[in-house]
Amino acid sequence: MGKRRVVVTGIGAVSPLGNDAETSWNNAVKGVSGIGPVTRVNAEDYPAKVAAELKDFDIETFIDKKEARKMDRFTHYAVAASLMAVKDADIEINDDNAPRVGVWIGSGIGGMETFEKQHETFLNRGYRRVSPFFVPMMIPDMATGQVSIILGARGFNSCTVTACATGTNSIGDAFKVIQRGDADVMISGGAEAPITRMAFAGFCANTALSTNPDPKTASRPFDKNRDGFVMGEGAGIVVLEELEHALARGAKIYAEIVGYGATGDAYHITAPAPEGEGGARAMSMALEDGGLKPEDIGYINAHGTSTDYNDKFETMAIKKVFGDQAYKVAVSSTKSMTGHLLGAAGGIEAIFTVLSLKHGILPPTINYETPDPECDLDYIPNEARHREIQAAISNSLGFGGHNATIAFRKYEA
């Protein structure tokens, strides 16, 4: 039996650019920044002053308040985005198909906010006052768990934790579940709510965050004056479906997912391997898996964190894989607008990549003002570009040396 074809039939998102996928996409195309002064922590306590937070998000729009109280914010985001994605896919999960509908949603750090609050309660009031929901609220797999419970999806069920590569690894792994025949539908992506006191402190301590106090210009991937990433929050979820299953029910199809590459640097706990060696192998794997050549790719949604090493080494990795074609392919980092959603980044960026294929619009890298001689590719500076493309890839690179790439192409019967 040959590889089963897999398509994207639903999308759902909550992001700093909007509380649904359509609004997030429209703002990305317009070059709108979702970054502002940080409010979830006291900015006076930290060198970083800005973050990419959700605005006016209300989980009670989606689920009952009593149930919501048993979940951390990262699970709220996953549930909301998943419900929207399933609604967008217009698929009913029932007793007949539930065993063939799976969920694979990852989170880089899980319920950090819950951990902090409950630890404070433990120190001040003892173990008897710690919530009985503490552990199931905190653990990263609970986004997958709650989504499957709420939707009644009883199929393949898992969770990936690969730092900032989490969302992309999750979608890639879910793609393979369908491709090999273990499910017909997978609800997949990433969710993160990392803007908490300890998480903010940790990233400040390792000097990963931008200390630029101006929200409008703090996230500036590939720009010579970049000084670190801006922490973001949210969730990006896609519904992946076996092609014949989708066609049989008359589903709309955004794009086809065709390739997946995942590698390890085996180099350093936070720094990428020199010249982006591991990232290059992940891109090559995704292209080979999808039967694609470098010249087939019209757009790369880069990891592009706005940190010195990432942007330089990812640029080098693209050159290694694409050769002379590297200067012809359009590359952008939507983190210039969303900030870095850590484990959710790959989910949001997969959605943007799919919509680029569908609409023929490539989102920009905003705040690109001063070219860096070491970052000399076409980063779609500051304004979106209308261009019909046939295939695209999305990259994610994570602490621990995790590299992941997924490849999409326009759906053709």
375 a catalytic residue: no
Radius of gyration of the chain (CA): 20
CA distance 374 to 240: 37
Other Cβ atoms less than 10 A from the Cβ of 383: the count is 13
CA distance 342 to 339: 9
Lookup: tokens for 238: 């896609």
Instruction: Give the relative orientation of helices 73-89 and 21-30 as an angle to the nearest 10 degrees.
Output: 100
Lookup: tokens for 86: 């399933």
Query: Dihedrals φ, ψ of 83, to 5°?
Result: -60, -40
141 contacts: CB under 8 Å, gap ≥ 6: 158, 159
SS3 of residue 300 by DSSP: strand
Give me the residues paired with residue 102 across strands.
Answer: 186
The CA-to-CA distance between both ends of the chain, in Å, stands at: 19
Residues 24, 74, 55, 205: what is their CA dihedral angle, to the nearest 10 degrees? -100
Lookup: tokens for 222: 């590939």
Q: Which residue in the block uniquely carries the two structure tokens 């694979």? A: 104
Query: Among residues 312, 314, 334, which one has the least CA distance to residue 382?
Result: 334
Give me the residues paired with residue 371 across strands.
Answer: 223
What is the DSSP secondary-structure string of 271-293? SPPGGGHHHHHHHHHHHHHTT--
User: Which one of the listed residues 159, 164, 204, 375 is annotated catalytic?
Assistant: 164
User: What is the bridge-based pairing of β-strands 299-301 and 391-398?
Assistant: parallel
297 contacts: CB under 8 Å, gap ≥ 6: 287, 322, 325, 329, 389, 391, 392, 393, 407
Contact, 23 vs 40, CB < 8 A? Answer: no
Q: Which residues are catalytic, by number?
A: 164
